[in-house]
Chain A
Amino acid sequence: MAIVSMTVNGKPVTADIDPRTLLVQFLREHLRLTGTHVGCDTSQCGACVVHMNGAAVKACTVLALQADGGDVVTIEGLANGAELHPMQAAFREHHGLQCGYCTPGMIMTAVDMANRLGPDLSEETIRSELEGNICRCTGYHNIVRAVESGARAMAGQPMREAAE
Protein backbone atom coordinates (compact mmCIF):
# COMPACT_ATOMS: atom_id res chain seq x y z
CA MET A 1 0.00 0.00 0.00
CA ALA A 2 1.05 3.60 -0.48
CA ILE A 3 -0.16 6.97 0.69
CA VAL A 4 -1.43 9.37 -1.95
CA SER A 5 -2.47 12.99 -1.47
CA MET A 6 -3.89 15.38 -4.00
CA THR A 7 -6.43 18.13 -4.42
CA VAL A 8 -9.66 17.04 -6.10
CA ASN A 9 -12.15 19.71 -7.08
CA GLY A 10 -10.52 22.09 -4.65
CA LYS A 11 -10.55 19.74 -1.65
CA PRO A 12 -7.46 18.01 -0.27
CA VAL A 13 -7.74 14.20 -0.16
CA THR A 14 -5.39 11.57 1.23
CA ALA A 15 -5.73 7.80 1.07
CA ASP A 16 -3.80 4.58 1.51
CA ILE A 17 -4.04 2.76 -1.81
CA ASP A 18 -2.68 -0.20 -3.76
CA PRO A 19 -0.04 1.25 -6.14
CA ARG A 20 -1.99 -0.30 -9.04
CA THR A 21 -4.93 2.03 -8.45
CA LEU A 22 -5.60 4.08 -11.56
CA LEU A 23 -6.56 7.72 -11.15
CA VAL A 24 -10.01 6.94 -12.55
CA GLN A 25 -10.51 4.14 -10.00
CA PHE A 26 -9.37 6.42 -7.23
CA LEU A 27 -11.88 9.07 -8.28
CA ARG A 28 -14.79 6.71 -8.82
CA GLU A 29 -14.29 4.00 -6.23
CA HIS A 30 -12.48 5.77 -3.39
CA LEU A 31 -13.97 9.25 -3.71
CA ARG A 32 -17.28 8.12 -5.24
CA LEU A 33 -16.99 10.75 -7.96
CA THR A 34 -18.72 8.61 -10.55
CA GLY A 35 -19.22 11.39 -13.10
CA THR A 36 -15.92 10.39 -14.68
CA HIS A 37 -16.64 7.29 -16.79
CA VAL A 38 -14.68 4.32 -18.06
CA GLY A 39 -15.60 3.48 -21.62
CA CYS A 40 -12.71 1.40 -22.86
CA ASP A 41 -10.00 1.22 -20.20
CA THR A 42 -7.52 1.06 -23.12
CA SER A 43 -6.77 4.81 -23.54
CA GLN A 44 -8.88 5.19 -26.68
CA CYS A 45 -12.31 6.63 -25.88
CA GLY A 46 -11.81 9.69 -23.66
CA ALA A 47 -14.80 8.98 -21.36
CA CYS A 48 -12.37 9.21 -18.43
CA VAL A 49 -10.85 12.62 -19.24
CA VAL A 50 -10.21 14.85 -16.21
CA HIS A 51 -7.89 17.80 -15.70
CA MET A 52 -4.64 17.15 -13.91
CA ASN A 53 -2.51 20.18 -13.09
CA GLY A 54 -4.54 22.18 -15.59
CA ALA A 55 -4.41 19.86 -18.61
CA ALA A 56 -6.70 17.13 -19.95
CA VAL A 57 -5.56 13.56 -19.22
CA LYS A 58 -7.09 10.13 -19.68
CA ALA A 59 -7.55 9.08 -16.06
CA CYS A 60 -7.59 5.39 -17.02
CA THR A 61 -3.97 5.72 -18.13
CA VAL A 62 -2.55 7.57 -15.13
CA LEU A 63 -1.76 5.93 -11.79
CA ALA A 64 -3.29 7.70 -8.82
CA LEU A 65 0.25 7.83 -7.44
CA GLN A 66 1.41 9.76 -10.52
CA ALA A 67 -1.09 12.45 -9.52
CA ASP A 68 0.36 12.64 -6.00
CA GLY A 69 0.70 16.28 -4.95
CA GLY A 70 -1.30 17.36 -7.97
CA ASP A 71 -4.49 19.24 -8.63
CA VAL A 72 -7.32 17.28 -10.24
CA VAL A 73 -10.62 18.64 -11.53
CA THR A 74 -13.44 16.31 -12.56
CA ILE A 75 -16.80 16.99 -14.18
CA GLU A 76 -18.25 17.37 -10.67
CA GLY A 77 -15.90 20.30 -10.10
CA LEU A 78 -17.06 22.45 -13.01
CA ALA A 79 -20.44 23.78 -11.96
CA ASN A 80 -20.69 26.68 -9.54
CA GLY A 81 -23.33 25.35 -7.15
CA ALA A 82 -26.55 25.05 -9.12
CA GLU A 83 -25.17 27.14 -11.96
CA LEU A 84 -23.76 25.05 -14.81
CA HIS A 85 -20.33 25.79 -16.24
CA PRO A 86 -20.76 27.57 -19.63
CA MET A 87 -19.53 24.46 -21.45
CA GLN A 88 -22.08 22.28 -19.63
CA ALA A 89 -24.79 24.81 -20.44
CA ALA A 90 -23.75 24.77 -24.10
CA PHE A 91 -24.00 20.96 -24.25
CA ARG A 92 -27.53 21.24 -22.84
CA GLU A 93 -28.55 24.08 -25.16
CA HIS A 94 -27.19 22.37 -28.28
CA HIS A 95 -28.28 18.89 -27.28
CA GLY A 96 -24.67 17.73 -27.48
CA LEU A 97 -25.51 14.36 -25.99
CA GLN A 98 -27.83 11.42 -26.24
CA CYS A 99 -27.05 8.64 -23.76
CA GLY A 100 -24.55 10.89 -21.99
CA TYR A 101 -21.88 8.27 -21.46
CA CYS A 102 -19.16 10.17 -23.33
CA THR A 103 -20.32 13.58 -22.11
CA PRO A 104 -18.17 14.14 -19.00
CA GLY A 105 -15.04 13.36 -21.01
CA MET A 106 -16.23 15.48 -23.94
CA ILE A 107 -16.86 18.45 -21.68
CA MET A 108 -13.52 18.15 -19.85
CA THR A 109 -11.73 17.93 -23.21
CA ALA A 110 -13.74 20.88 -24.53
CA VAL A 111 -12.92 23.08 -21.53
CA ASP A 112 -9.22 22.21 -21.90
CA MET A 113 -9.44 23.01 -25.61
CA ALA A 114 -10.95 26.44 -24.95
CA ASN A 115 -8.39 27.11 -22.20
CA ARG A 116 -5.52 26.39 -24.60
CA LEU A 117 -6.88 27.71 -27.89
CA GLY A 118 -9.23 30.52 -26.93
CA PRO A 119 -12.87 31.33 -27.69
CA ASP A 120 -12.82 31.19 -31.49
CA LEU A 121 -12.65 27.54 -32.43
CA SER A 122 -13.25 26.47 -36.02
CA GLU A 123 -15.17 23.30 -36.75
CA GLU A 124 -11.98 21.78 -38.15
CA THR A 125 -10.03 22.54 -34.97
CA ILE A 126 -12.78 21.16 -32.75
CA ARG A 127 -13.04 17.95 -34.73
CA SER A 128 -9.30 17.37 -34.70
CA GLU A 129 -9.04 18.20 -30.99
CA LEU A 130 -11.82 15.69 -30.25
CA GLU A 131 -9.71 12.94 -31.86
CA GLY A 132 -9.39 11.10 -28.55
CA ASN A 133 -13.05 11.31 -27.50
CA ILE A 134 -15.41 8.77 -28.97
CA CYS A 135 -19.21 9.07 -29.00
CA ARG A 136 -21.36 6.11 -30.00
CA CYS A 137 -24.59 8.08 -30.23
CA THR A 138 -24.58 11.58 -31.61
CA GLY A 139 -22.55 11.55 -34.81
CA TYR A 140 -20.65 14.49 -33.27
CA HIS A 141 -22.53 17.25 -35.09
CA ASN A 142 -24.20 18.72 -32.00
CA ILE A 143 -21.10 18.15 -29.89
CA VAL A 144 -19.11 20.32 -32.29
CA ARG A 145 -21.80 23.03 -32.13
CA ALA A 146 -21.83 22.85 -28.34
CA VAL A 147 -18.05 23.15 -28.04
CA GLU A 148 -18.00 26.10 -30.43
CA SER A 149 -20.68 27.91 -28.48
CA GLY A 150 -19.36 26.87 -25.05
CA ALA A 151 -15.89 28.19 -25.84
CA ARG A 152 -17.38 31.59 -26.67
CA ALA A 153 -19.54 31.55 -23.56
CA MET A 154 -16.46 30.80 -21.43
CA ALA A 155 -14.99 34.07 -22.69
CA GLY A 156 -18.13 35.90 -21.61
CA GLN A 157 -19.74 36.14 -25.03
CA PRO A 158 -23.47 35.40 -25.13
CA MET A 159 -24.47 31.82 -25.82
CA ARG A 160 -25.87 31.26 -29.30
CA GLU A 161 -29.24 29.58 -29.19
CA ALA A 162 -29.57 26.23 -30.85
CA ALA A 163 -31.56 26.05 -34.06
CA GLU A 164 -34.86 24.34 -33.35
Chain B
Amino acid sequence: MYAFDYHKPTSLRQAASMLAKAEDAKILAGGHTLLPTMKQRLAAPSSLIDLGALAELQGIERKGRSVVVGAMTTHAAVASSDVVREAIPGLAEMAEMIGDPAVRTRGTIGGSVANNDPAADYPAACLALAATITTNKRKIEADDFFRGMFDTALEEGEIITKVSFPVPAKAAYAKFRNPASRYALAGVFVAKRGSEIRVAVTGAGADGVFRWTAAEEALKTRFSAKSLAGMAADASMMNSDIHADAEYRAHLVGVMARRAVEAATTR
Protein backbone atom coordinates (compact mmCIF):
# COMPACT_ATOMS: atom_id res chain seq x y z
CA MET B 1 0.00 0.00 0.00
CA TYR B 2 1.30 3.45 -0.87
CA ALA B 3 1.12 6.25 1.69
CA PHE B 4 -1.97 8.44 1.93
CA ASP B 5 -3.50 11.08 4.17
CA TYR B 6 -6.51 10.03 6.18
CA HIS B 7 -9.52 12.23 6.94
CA LYS B 8 -12.67 11.46 8.87
CA PRO B 9 -15.23 14.20 8.20
CA THR B 10 -18.17 14.59 10.56
CA SER B 11 -20.70 15.95 8.07
CA LEU B 12 -21.59 15.25 4.46
CA ARG B 13 -20.82 18.83 3.51
CA GLN B 14 -17.36 18.57 5.04
CA ALA B 15 -16.79 15.25 3.24
CA ALA B 16 -17.74 16.79 -0.10
CA SER B 17 -15.45 19.77 0.38
CA MET B 18 -12.52 17.54 1.43
CA LEU B 19 -13.12 15.40 -1.63
CA ALA B 20 -13.17 18.44 -3.88
CA LYS B 21 -10.03 19.97 -2.35
CA ALA B 22 -7.68 17.02 -2.19
CA GLU B 23 -6.21 15.92 -5.47
CA ASP B 24 -6.75 12.24 -6.18
CA ALA B 25 -8.78 11.60 -3.02
CA LYS B 26 -11.00 8.56 -2.63
CA ILE B 27 -13.96 7.81 -0.42
CA LEU B 28 -13.48 5.03 2.12
CA ALA B 29 -16.67 3.21 3.14
CA GLY B 30 -16.32 -0.37 4.46
CA GLY B 31 -12.96 -0.68 2.73
CA HIS B 32 -13.61 -4.26 1.68
CA THR B 33 -12.97 -3.51 -1.96
CA LEU B 34 -10.79 -0.42 -1.70
CA LEU B 35 -8.25 -1.64 0.89
CA PRO B 36 -7.50 -4.94 -0.91
CA THR B 37 -7.10 -2.95 -4.15
CA MET B 38 -4.71 -0.53 -2.44
CA LYS B 39 -2.70 -3.41 -0.97
CA GLN B 40 -2.23 -4.73 -4.48
CA ARG B 41 -1.20 -1.21 -5.50
CA LEU B 42 -3.94 -1.18 -8.12
CA ALA B 43 -5.23 1.98 -6.45
CA ALA B 44 -3.02 4.64 -4.88
CA PRO B 45 -5.18 7.54 -3.70
CA SER B 46 -3.33 10.47 -2.13
CA SER B 47 -6.01 10.77 0.55
CA LEU B 48 -8.84 8.72 1.97
CA ILE B 49 -12.04 10.39 3.10
CA ASP B 50 -13.58 7.95 5.60
CA LEU B 51 -17.39 8.23 5.71
CA GLY B 52 -17.50 6.09 8.87
CA ALA B 53 -18.48 8.94 11.19
CA LEU B 54 -21.42 10.23 9.13
CA ALA B 55 -24.52 9.19 11.05
CA GLU B 56 -26.66 10.78 8.31
CA LEU B 57 -25.58 8.02 5.90
CA GLN B 58 -26.59 5.21 8.28
CA GLY B 59 -29.86 3.44 8.70
CA ILE B 60 -32.87 1.89 7.04
CA GLU B 61 -36.39 3.26 6.97
CA ARG B 62 -39.70 2.66 5.31
CA LYS B 63 -40.86 5.81 3.53
CA GLY B 64 -44.28 5.43 1.96
CA ARG B 65 -43.96 2.84 -0.77
CA SER B 66 -40.19 2.60 -0.60
CA VAL B 67 -37.47 1.23 1.62
CA VAL B 68 -34.64 3.73 1.94
CA VAL B 69 -31.18 2.48 2.86
CA GLY B 70 -28.39 4.89 3.85
CA ALA B 71 -25.16 4.51 1.85
CA MET B 72 -23.06 3.48 4.88
CA THR B 73 -25.50 0.76 5.95
CA THR B 74 -23.69 -2.58 6.14
CA HIS B 75 -24.73 -5.79 4.43
CA ALA B 76 -25.26 -7.32 7.90
CA ALA B 77 -27.65 -4.50 8.85
CA VAL B 78 -29.72 -4.97 5.67
CA ALA B 79 -29.76 -8.76 6.12
CA SER B 80 -31.08 -8.51 9.68
CA SER B 81 -33.38 -5.51 9.26
CA ASP B 82 -37.02 -6.12 10.19
CA VAL B 83 -38.09 -3.34 7.85
CA VAL B 84 -36.33 -4.97 4.88
CA ARG B 85 -37.38 -8.50 5.86
CA GLU B 86 -41.00 -7.43 5.94
CA ALA B 87 -41.14 -5.21 2.85
CA ILE B 88 -38.58 -6.83 0.51
CA PRO B 89 -37.47 -10.18 1.94
CA GLY B 90 -35.58 -10.94 -1.28
CA LEU B 91 -33.30 -7.96 -0.62
CA ALA B 92 -32.46 -9.13 2.91
CA GLU B 93 -31.73 -12.61 1.56
CA MET B 94 -29.45 -11.14 -1.08
CA ALA B 95 -27.49 -9.18 1.54
CA GLU B 96 -27.12 -12.38 3.57
CA MET B 97 -25.50 -14.08 0.56
CA ILE B 98 -22.66 -11.56 0.25
CA GLY B 99 -19.21 -12.89 1.15
CA ASP B 100 -19.01 -14.11 4.75
CA PRO B 101 -20.12 -12.72 8.15
CA ALA B 102 -17.01 -10.57 8.66
CA VAL B 103 -17.33 -9.09 5.16
CA ARG B 104 -20.98 -8.31 5.84
CA THR B 105 -20.04 -6.53 9.08
CA ARG B 106 -17.94 -3.99 7.18
CA GLY B 107 -19.10 -3.87 3.52
CA THR B 108 -21.70 -1.21 2.68
CA ILE B 109 -24.42 -0.75 0.09
CA GLY B 110 -22.91 2.56 -1.04
CA GLY B 111 -19.49 1.01 -1.62
CA SER B 112 -20.94 -1.93 -3.48
CA VAL B 113 -23.10 0.19 -5.75
CA ALA B 114 -20.33 2.75 -6.42
CA ASN B 115 -17.87 0.01 -7.24
CA ASN B 116 -20.23 -1.85 -9.63
CA ASP B 117 -18.13 -5.00 -9.63
CA PRO B 118 -19.41 -7.19 -12.51
CA ALA B 119 -19.92 -10.06 -10.03
CA ALA B 120 -21.38 -8.06 -7.12
CA ASP B 121 -24.90 -8.69 -5.88
CA TYR B 122 -26.32 -5.23 -5.12
CA PRO B 123 -26.19 -3.98 -8.72
CA ALA B 124 -28.62 -6.77 -9.70
CA ALA B 125 -30.94 -5.93 -6.80
CA CYS B 126 -30.92 -2.21 -7.65
CA LEU B 127 -31.60 -2.81 -11.32
CA ALA B 128 -34.39 -5.37 -10.79
CA LEU B 129 -36.09 -3.37 -8.06
CA ALA B 130 -35.82 -0.13 -10.09
CA ALA B 131 -33.97 1.57 -7.24
CA THR B 132 -33.09 5.25 -7.16
CA ILE B 133 -29.55 6.14 -6.16
CA THR B 134 -29.36 9.50 -4.39
CA THR B 135 -26.09 11.42 -4.21
CA ASN B 136 -25.12 14.72 -2.62
CA LYS B 137 -25.93 16.29 -6.00
CA ARG B 138 -28.89 14.47 -7.61
CA LYS B 139 -31.04 11.35 -7.95
CA ILE B 140 -30.13 8.70 -10.52
CA GLU B 141 -32.36 5.82 -11.67
CA ALA B 142 -30.67 2.41 -11.55
CA ASP B 143 -31.27 2.03 -15.30
CA ASP B 144 -29.02 5.07 -15.89
CA PHE B 145 -26.59 4.44 -13.04
CA PHE B 146 -24.84 1.18 -14.00
CA ARG B 147 -22.77 1.67 -17.12
CA GLY B 148 -20.82 -1.52 -17.68
CA MET B 149 -18.31 -3.18 -15.40
CA PHE B 150 -16.79 -0.96 -12.70
CA ASP B 151 -18.41 2.02 -14.44
CA THR B 152 -21.26 4.16 -13.10
CA ALA B 153 -22.90 7.52 -13.71
CA LEU B 154 -21.11 8.94 -10.64
CA GLU B 155 -19.04 12.01 -11.35
CA GLU B 156 -15.78 13.03 -9.74
CA GLY B 157 -16.42 13.98 -6.12
CA GLU B 158 -20.01 12.74 -6.05
CA ILE B 159 -21.06 10.88 -2.88
CA ILE B 160 -23.89 8.35 -2.73
CA THR B 161 -26.07 9.17 0.27
CA LYS B 162 -28.85 6.60 -0.01
CA VAL B 163 -30.57 4.04 -2.16
CA SER B 164 -34.40 3.83 -2.32
CA PHE B 165 -36.12 0.63 -3.30
CA PRO B 166 -39.79 0.79 -4.31
CA VAL B 167 -41.53 -2.11 -2.56
CA PRO B 168 -42.35 -4.83 -5.10
CA ALA B 169 -45.26 -7.29 -5.02
CA LYS B 170 -42.85 -10.18 -5.44
CA ALA B 171 -39.08 -10.39 -5.58
CA ALA B 172 -36.27 -12.86 -5.01
CA TYR B 173 -32.60 -13.43 -5.75
CA ALA B 174 -30.85 -16.64 -6.71
CA LYS B 175 -27.08 -16.86 -6.81
CA PHE B 176 -24.64 -19.47 -8.01
CA ARG B 177 -21.49 -18.68 -6.07
CA ASN B 178 -17.97 -19.00 -7.20
CA PRO B 179 -16.98 -21.44 -4.44
CA ALA B 180 -13.62 -19.73 -3.87
CA SER B 181 -14.47 -16.03 -3.99
CA ARG B 182 -18.17 -16.28 -3.01
CA TYR B 183 -19.00 -13.65 -5.61
CA ALA B 184 -21.67 -14.56 -8.19
CA LEU B 185 -20.77 -16.74 -11.16
CA ALA B 186 -24.34 -15.98 -12.09
CA GLY B 187 -26.87 -14.15 -9.93
CA VAL B 188 -30.40 -13.27 -10.98
CA PHE B 189 -32.74 -10.86 -9.19
CA VAL B 190 -36.38 -10.90 -10.33
CA ALA B 191 -39.02 -8.40 -9.27
CA LYS B 192 -42.68 -7.83 -10.08
CA ARG B 193 -44.36 -4.54 -9.24
CA GLY B 194 -47.80 -3.94 -10.73
CA SER B 195 -47.52 -5.06 -14.33
CA GLU B 196 -43.80 -4.31 -14.50
CA ILE B 197 -41.44 -7.27 -14.41
CA ARG B 198 -37.69 -6.83 -14.22
CA VAL B 199 -34.99 -9.48 -14.38
CA ALA B 200 -31.42 -8.36 -13.64
CA VAL B 201 -28.35 -10.53 -14.06
CA THR B 202 -24.96 -10.14 -12.38
CA GLY B 203 -21.75 -12.18 -12.51
CA ALA B 204 -22.43 -13.57 -15.95
CA GLY B 205 -22.50 -10.74 -18.48
CA ALA B 206 -19.36 -9.73 -20.40
CA ASP B 207 -20.01 -6.10 -19.48
CA GLY B 208 -21.38 -6.28 -15.97
CA VAL B 209 -24.94 -6.21 -14.69
CA PHE B 210 -27.73 -6.21 -17.30
CA ARG B 211 -31.48 -6.69 -17.70
CA TRP B 212 -32.48 -9.93 -19.36
CA THR B 213 -35.31 -8.60 -21.49
CA ALA B 214 -36.19 -11.93 -23.13
CA ALA B 215 -36.97 -13.36 -19.69
CA GLU B 216 -38.93 -10.25 -18.72
CA GLU B 217 -41.09 -10.69 -21.84
CA ALA B 218 -41.63 -14.37 -21.17
CA LEU B 219 -42.69 -13.66 -17.58
CA LYS B 220 -45.26 -11.10 -18.69
CA THR B 221 -47.53 -13.87 -19.97
CA ARG B 222 -47.37 -15.60 -16.62
CA PHE B 223 -45.10 -14.88 -13.64
CA SER B 224 -44.06 -18.49 -13.16
CA ALA B 225 -40.81 -20.43 -13.44
CA LYS B 226 -42.52 -22.50 -16.15
CA SER B 227 -42.60 -19.44 -18.42
CA LEU B 228 -38.77 -19.62 -18.49
CA ALA B 229 -38.58 -23.37 -19.18
CA GLY B 230 -35.58 -24.22 -21.34
CA MET B 231 -34.46 -20.59 -21.63
CA ALA B 232 -30.80 -19.58 -21.38
CA ALA B 233 -29.12 -16.21 -21.81
CA ASP B 234 -27.32 -15.34 -25.05
CA ALA B 235 -23.86 -16.94 -24.69
CA SER B 236 -22.26 -14.38 -27.01
CA MET B 237 -22.99 -11.73 -24.37
CA MET B 238 -21.51 -13.71 -21.46
CA ASN B 239 -18.18 -13.48 -19.69
CA SER B 240 -15.78 -16.38 -20.11
CA ASP B 241 -12.90 -17.06 -17.71
CA ILE B 242 -11.14 -19.87 -15.82
CA HIS B 243 -14.12 -20.21 -13.49
CA ALA B 244 -16.81 -20.75 -16.12
CA ASP B 245 -17.09 -20.39 -19.88
CA ALA B 246 -19.76 -18.34 -21.63
CA GLU B 247 -21.98 -21.32 -22.52
CA TYR B 248 -22.03 -22.48 -18.91
CA ARG B 249 -22.77 -18.98 -17.60
CA ALA B 250 -25.60 -18.57 -20.13
CA HIS B 251 -27.09 -21.84 -18.90
CA LEU B 252 -26.67 -20.85 -15.23
CA VAL B 253 -28.51 -17.58 -15.85
CA GLY B 254 -31.55 -19.57 -17.00
CA VAL B 255 -31.37 -21.88 -13.99
CA MET B 256 -30.92 -19.01 -11.50
CA ALA B 257 -33.78 -17.04 -13.10
CA ARG B 258 -36.12 -20.02 -12.69
CA ARG B 259 -35.02 -20.49 -9.07
CA ALA B 260 -35.53 -16.81 -8.32
CA VAL B 261 -39.05 -16.78 -9.81
CA GLU B 262 -39.84 -19.98 -7.93
CA ALA B 263 -38.68 -18.39 -4.67
CA ALA B 264 -40.60 -15.17 -5.38
CA THR B 265 -43.84 -16.98 -6.11
CA THR B 266 -43.75 -19.45 -3.20
CA ARG B 267 -43.29 -17.03 -0.29
> Which residues of A approach B to under 8 Å, CB–CB?
2, 18-20, 22, 41-43, 46, 49, 52, 55-58, 61-63, 65-66, 68, 109, 112-113, 129, 131-133
The answer to the question of B1 belonging to the interface, with a C-beta cut-off of 8 Å to chain A, is yes
> Which residues of B approach A to under 8 Å, CB–CB?
1-6, 8, 28, 31-32, 35-36, 39, 48, 50, 52, 76, 99-103, 105-106, 182
Query: Nearest-CB distance from B181 to chain A (Å)?
Result: 8
Closest to B52 in A: A66
Q: Are B101 and A132 in contact (CB under 8 A)?
A: yes
Contact of B103 among A52, A58, A65 (CB under 8 A): A58
Sample of 11 more A-B contacts, CB < 8 Å, known A43-B32, A62-B35, A112-B101: A41-B39, A56-B101, A61-B36, A63-B48, A113-B101, A131-B99, A131-B101, A132-B99, A132-B100, A132-B101, A133-B100
Q: Are A63 and B6 in contact (CB under 8 A)?
A: yes
Closest to A4 in B: B6
Q: How far apart sit A68 and B53, CA to CA, in the bound complex (Å)?
A: 10
Provide the main secondary structure of the chain A interface: mixed
Closest to A112 in B: B101
Most chain A beta-carbon contacts within 10 A, residue among B1, B28, B76: B1
Query: Nearest-CB distance from A57 to chain B (Å)?
Result: 5
Q: Are A43 and B103 in contact (CB under 8 A)?
A: yes
Q: Are B36 and A2 in contact (CB under 8 A)?
A: no
- The answer to whether residues A132 and B103 also contact, given A61-B35, A61-B36 and a CB cut-off of 8 A, is yes
In the complex, 11 of the A-B residue pairs with CB atoms within 8 angstroms, ordered by the A residue number, are: A19-B48, A20-B4, A42-B36, A52-B105, A55-B76, A56-B101, A61-B31, A63-B31, A65-B8, A113-B101, A132-B103
Q: How far apart sit A2 and B76, CA to CA, in the bound complex (Å)?
A: 30
Q: Are B3 and A66 in contact (CB under 8 A)?
A: no
Closest to A130 in B: B100
Give the top 7 A-B pairs by smallest Cβ distance, nearest first: A132-B100, A19-B6, A131-B100, A55-B105, A58-B102, A56-B102, A20-B1
Q: How far apart sit A19 and B31, CA to CA, in the bound complex (Å)?
A: 14
Q: Are B4 and A19 in contact (CB under 8 A)?
A: yes
Most chain A beta-carbon contacts within 10 A, residue among B28, B100, B182: B100
Q: How far apart sit A137 and B233, CA to CA, in the bound complex (Å)?
A: 41
Q: Are A19 and B3 in contact (CB under 8 A)?
A: yes
Contact of B102 among A18, A20, A42, A132 (CB under 8 A): A132
Closest to B35 in A: A61
Most chain B beta-carbon contacts within 10 A, residue among A20, A52, A109: A20
Query: Nearest-CB distance from A10 to chain B (Å)?
Result: 21
Q: How far apart sit A11 and B140, CA to CA, in the bound complex (Å)?
A: 46
* Residues of the B chain whose Cβ atoms lie less than 8 Å from the Cβ of A129: 100-101
Q: How far apart sit A4 and B102, CA to CA, in the bound complex (Å)?
A: 22
Query: Nearest-CB distance from A129 to chain B (Å)?
Result: 6
* Residues of the B chain whose Cβ atoms lie less than 8 Å from the Cβ of A19: 3-6, 48
Q: Are B3 and A49 in contact (CB under 8 A)?
A: no
* Residues of the B chain whose Cβ atoms lie less than 8 Å from the Cβ of A41: 39
Q: How far apart sit A92 and B8, CA to CA, in the bound complex (Å)?
A: 42
Q: How far apart sit A49 and B100, CA to CA, in the bound complex (Å)?
A: 12
